[in-house]
């Protein structure tokens, strides 16, 4: 049974809370549909915001939307302008007063939604799926997870026949209800078709009574795990962010390994040892193949030690 059902729905009311908290009344169905519209709208509106969960609470005249994200700076915007814009758009959608709260996720590597979304984005950017998954697994295990399992299905690498592959590390006991397991399903839209990514992350066992609101659970999780402070750009960011790198960051595409062209050790015009303007090997007047200044072996018109301007050995 643990293998068949959604791990989050399986643990509701035991160690996990609901993402919508309100009393339904007669218009219960309308509120459920409205909640789904709010979530779909926000996920499309803030595509690069690193959204993990959207918790919706209702009172008689107000809807409170709490967005749990790894990149709060993108959602808040300059001087809070972006949040105000989103609030006005949600007012039109719900026809009620809307309050937006933003909670930062300190360790995005431990959230299944963000990990699966990151893998999906990398696959869409034509990065090899094995590499993306292995990087995700290493990063999650480094952040203190007890286990992670990733299953990917579809036309992998553009193969004619779709297949499924699974990668895992550590333990993910789906039958044990007291184990806090986060689960997510994401889809990558590639030129070959959709590729589905399922991700299970085991965060350890929960002993004693836990408050079942999702916001309280997130607060408690960050308190228990400690964790480093992360900037709004935290996870999988292209500018060179945390451990979980996507394209364009760190040593893969950055300038860490290769010195700039200001005369550094590699290829600078200002005279590095290998190919510089006056370097030892191929410089303007270097020791081996110098120009007009004349090196020791093959000097130019100025005449080196062994071969003069005519190219032959020197005559005494």
Strand blocks (E) in 24-96? 51-58, 62-69
Nearest to 152 by CA among 182, 194, 114: 194
Please count the other Cβ atoms lying within 10 Å of the Cβ belonging to residue 75: 23
Please state the rounded mean pLDDT for residues 278-302.
Answer: 46
Q: How far is CA 274 from the centre of its chain?
A: 38
pLDDT value at 268 more than 50 = no
CA 238 to each of CA 129, 190, 216, 226, 228: distance values in angstroms, whole numbers, following the listed order: 18, 20, 31, 25, 20
Name the pLDDT band for 214 (thresholds 50, 70, 90): low
Residues composing the chain: 316
Residue 289, Cβ density class (10 Å: 0-12 exposed, 13-18 middle, ≥19 buried)? middle
Please state the rounded mean pLDDT for residues 157-174.
Answer: 96
Q: What is the pLDDT of residues 171-192, one digit of tens each?
A: 999 999 999 999 999 999 999 9
Give residue 37's pLDDT.
95
CATH of span 108-210: 3.30.1140.32
Please state the rounded mean pLDDT for residues 256-272.
Answer: 44
Give residue 202's pLDDT.
97
**Which residues share a beta bridge with 184?**
199
Q: Rounded to whole angstroms, how far apart are CA atoms 239 and 190?
A: 23
157 neighbors 277 (Cβ within 8 angstroms): no
pLDDT value at 259 more than 50 = no
Q: How far is CA 296 from the centre of its chain?
A: 54
Give residue 1's pLDDT.
64
pLDDT value at 292 more than 90 = no
CATH of span 7-104: 3.30.300.20
pLDDT value at 260 more than 60 = no
pLDDT value at 19 more than 70 = yes
Name the pLDDT band for 308 (thresholds 50, 70, 90): very low
Give residue 248's pLDDT.
39
CA 311 to each of CA 238, 293, 314: distance values in angstroms, whole numbers, following the listed order: 55, 15, 9
Q: Rounded to whole angstroms, how far apart are CA atoms 254 and 57?
A: 43
Give residue 215's pLDDT.
63
pLDDT value at 59 more than 50 = yes
pLDDT value at 85 more than 70 = yes
Give, for 268, the enclosing helix (H) or strand (E): none
Cα dihedral 74→71→250→200 (10° resolution):
-140
Give residue 79's pLDDT.
87
Give residue 238's pLDDT.
36
Q: Where are the domains of the chain?
A: 7-104, 108-210
DSSP state letter for 313 = B
């Amino acid at each position: 049974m643990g293998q068949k059902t959604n791990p989050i729905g399986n643990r509701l009311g035991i160690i996990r809370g609901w993402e919508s908290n309100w009393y339904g009344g007669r218009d219960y169905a309308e509120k459920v549909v409205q909640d789904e519209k709010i979530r779909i709208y926000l996920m499309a509106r803030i595509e690069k915001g690193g959204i993990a969960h959207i918790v919706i609470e209702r009172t008689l005249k107000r809807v409170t939307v709490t967005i749990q994200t790894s990149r709060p700076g993108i959602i808040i915007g300059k001087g809070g302008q972006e949040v105000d814009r989103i609030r006005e758009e949600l007012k039109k959608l719900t026809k009620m007063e809307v309050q937006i709260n933003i909670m930062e996720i300190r360790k995005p590597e431990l959230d299944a939604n963000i990990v699966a979304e990151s893998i999906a984005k990398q696959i869409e950017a034509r990065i090899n799926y094995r590499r993306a998954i292995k990087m995700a697994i290493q990063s999650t295990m480094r952040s203190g997870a007890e286990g992670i399992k990733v299953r990917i299905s579809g036309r992998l690498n553009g193969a004619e026949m779709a297949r499924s592959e699974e990668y895992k590390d550590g333990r993910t006991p789906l039958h044990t209800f007291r184990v806090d397991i986060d689960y997510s399903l994401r889809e990558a839209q590639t030129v070959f078709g959709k590729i589905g990514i399922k991700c299970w992350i085991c965060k350890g066992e929960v002993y004693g009574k836990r408050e079942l609101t999702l916001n309280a659970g997130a607060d408690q999780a960050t308190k228990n795990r400690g964790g480093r402070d992360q900037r709004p750009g935290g996870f999988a960011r292209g500018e060179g962010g945390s451990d979980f790198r996507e394209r364009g960051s760190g040593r893969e595409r950055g300038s860490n390994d290769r010195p700039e062209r200001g005369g550094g050790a590699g290829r600078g015009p200002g005279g590095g040892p290998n190919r510089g303007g006056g370097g030892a090997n191929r410089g303007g007047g270097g020791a081996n193949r110098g120009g007009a200044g004349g090196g020791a072996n093959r000097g130019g018109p100025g005449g080196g030690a062994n071969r003069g301007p005519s190219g032959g050995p020197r005559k005494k």
